[in-house]
Each structure stands twice: as structure tokens, then as C-alpha cells.
Structure 1
Amino acid sequence: MPMTSVLPNHGADGVSSLDMASLLLCAYELGDFINQSAEVADYLYWKEAVNEDEQVKQLSKQFAKAKELFSECERFGRFHPDYHAAKDKVKHIERELDQIDAVKRFKLAEQQVDTMLFDVSRMIAESVSDTIKVPSNEGKTGGCGGGGSCSCGSGGCG
């Protein structure tokens, strides 16, 4: 997999500077390689399966309504009379979503793509310096019923 060579340009003062256009071209080539990976193909397959699943669509609508109600209760804190019931409803629907096979597989595929992207980012950063920090998505959740913006179903949960 040859990537475009990023060679330094020498300015009028003889100091080399990075050719930004070449660097961006390499970045796009790397993105193309990633998009052609089995992990991305698996992710896109399960994303489509989730988006077409009628049960996921129904639960996503219920989840959006429950989340909206919980947000209203949350404004007043745990002392709101419906706070705990609203919170329990959101968690219950999340658990139902998590039991659907397509959702399980989508979340696994999403995690695999996320891990691949993190590994690539880390390799790039470490090739520059061992002390560069690379942000990670550890601790963050997303996708279906993961507490983040649910991308399942037609209306989404966010």
C-alpha cells in the first residue's frame, strides 16, 4: 500500500517546511484505506440493519420520549416526584434495545472501528513524539442505548 510521499520543501531561506497539500493527500489516502477495511464494512452493515429494524425504530421513539420526560424531571433534580420513575423508564428501554441482536452487533462493530481509529491515531502521534497525548473514547458511550446520542432507528434518540 504505497502512500504519497510527504517530502519537505525547501523555502527561499533553505529551511525545509512540510508540504501541507502532500500531507493532506496522505491523510485522505489513509482514510480511504480505513473506509475499505472489513471493520468499516461490518459497521456499515450493522448500522443499516439497525436502521431498518422495526423493533429498534419503535423502541427508539419510546426512548426519545422517555429521555425527554427524564430531562424535564432532571431540571428539578431528584426531588421531582417522577424523577426516579422517569430514570428507571429510560434505563429499562436502554436494556430492551441492548437485547436486540442487531443492536448488539452494531455496538460491537462500532467499538471495533473506534479501536482501529484510536490505534491509528496513536501510531501517528507516537511517530511524531512519545509524549504527545492522544485523545481516546474510553468511558464515552454512544450508539443504541449507550447513554449517548442513540443513532438507532429513524428518529434517533438524541
Structure 2
Amino acid sequence: MFMTYEWVQITDSAEELSELILQSEQAETYRQAYRDVYNDKNLADEIQAFARLKDQYEEVQRFGKYHPEYSRVMKQIRVDKRRIDLNEQVAALRFAENDLQDLMDQVSFIIGRSVSEAVKIPSSNPFFSSDSSCGSGCGTGGGCSCSA
């Protein structure tokens, strides 16, 4: 593929957009929340311990209730996950992640719609979903107000 002038302009615009996103309030809030979580040694250690427990959980899941550690691991993963989820710093990081994801979804939606109304736009936010037809897989033959 040859680098045309138009292609260079598109690349430059994409880089400019990327810089704007990186400089956005959402990105800065995310970076600060991330630093708050991972600069707290106790919390970072807790998260690493939880990651190791998740590995044990996956091992236990392979064998189900027949695994000798099944009950202990299943209970411990729920307790540890809840404790981490209720941590204010972790909650702030999750909110910041969601806000940054919403910004990315909005940008993707705008770019996709500028190309064509038919462009499928992946999004974590149903508002920006381009799937207004039955293609979303309702599977009920009318549950989504479609007529199969």
C-alpha cells in the first residue's frame, strides 16, 4: 500500500485525536486513580494476592466440586473480591475506567457515523450500539419487538 497524502492526513488526525484523548479530564482522572491504587503497597499486595487466588479458582473450576480445595477457594474468592470491590480507591478506579470507556465509545460512535450509518460500532454502552435490528440475538422471535 502506498502512503498517499490523504492517508498521511488521516494518520496525523488520528494521532492528534489520540493526544486529545490522553489529555482529557477522563484520562487524567483514570491515571490518578490508577496511581492511587497501585502506589498503596498494601492494596497492591492485596490485588496481587487476589490474582493468585483467581489462578487457583480457574484450576478448581476445571474439576468443579470434586476438587479438594473447591469449597475453600470458592468462599475465599467471594470474600476477597468483595473486600477489594468495597475499597474506595478501587471503586474510584472503576468509575474512572468507565468514564474513560464512555469517552472512547463516544469517539468511536462519532467516527463510525461519519463514515456511514451502517458501520457497526463496538461499544460497552448500549446507547452507542449501532445494532437497532434483530441482529442483537434476542432469540425469542419477538422479545425485542422484532418479527422473526
Fold-level match, TM-score > 0.5?
A: yes
Map of 1:3 onto structure 2: none
Distance 2:91 2:114 in 1: 35
Map of 1:27 onto structure 2: 14
Over 3 Å counting, the alpha-carbon distance change for 1:138 and 1:91 in structure 2 is: farther
- TM norm structure 1: 0.71
Map of 1:130 onto structure 2: 117
Is 2:28 the partner of 1:46? Answer: no
Distance 1:38 1:78 in 2: 47
Give the aligned residue type for 1:136. Answer: S
Map of 2:63 onto structure 1: 76
Aligned partner of 1:37 among 9, 15, 24: 24
Contact 1:62 1:93 in 2 (8 A): no
Contact 1:50 1:56 in 2 (8 A): yes
Higher relative contact order (CA 8 A, sep 6+): 1
- Structure 2, unaligned runs of 5 or more: 127-148
Is 2:110 the partner of 1:110? Answer: no
The CA deviation at 1:74 is 1.3
SS at match of 1:19: helix
Query: What is the CA RMSD across the aligned residues, in angstroms?
Result: 2.0
Over 3 Å counting, the alpha-carbon distance change for 1:87 and 1:136 in structure 2 is: farther
The CA deviation at 1:50 is 0.6
Distance 1:63 1:118 in 2: 30
Give the aligned residue type for 1:129. Answer: S
CA-to-partner distance for each residue in 1:40-83, whole Å, 9 max, x for gaps?
Answer: 11111111111111231221132122112112211213432432
Distance 1:87 1:124 in 2: 43
4+ residue runs of structure 1 moved beyond 2 angstroms?
Answer: 77-85
Distance 2:117 2:72 in 1: 48
Is 2:88 the partner of 1:101? Answer: yes
Structure 1 window deviating more from structure 2 (102-111 vs 72-81): it is 72-81
Give the aligned residue type for 1:54. Answer: K
Distance 1:114 1:45 in 2: 16
Give the aligned residue type for 2:124. Answer: N
Aligned partner of 1:60 among 29, 47, 51: 47
Q: How many residues align?
A: 123
Larger relative helix fraction: 2
Contact 2:65 2:71 in 1 (8 A): yes
Identity %: 27
Give the aligned residue type for 2:62. Answer: R
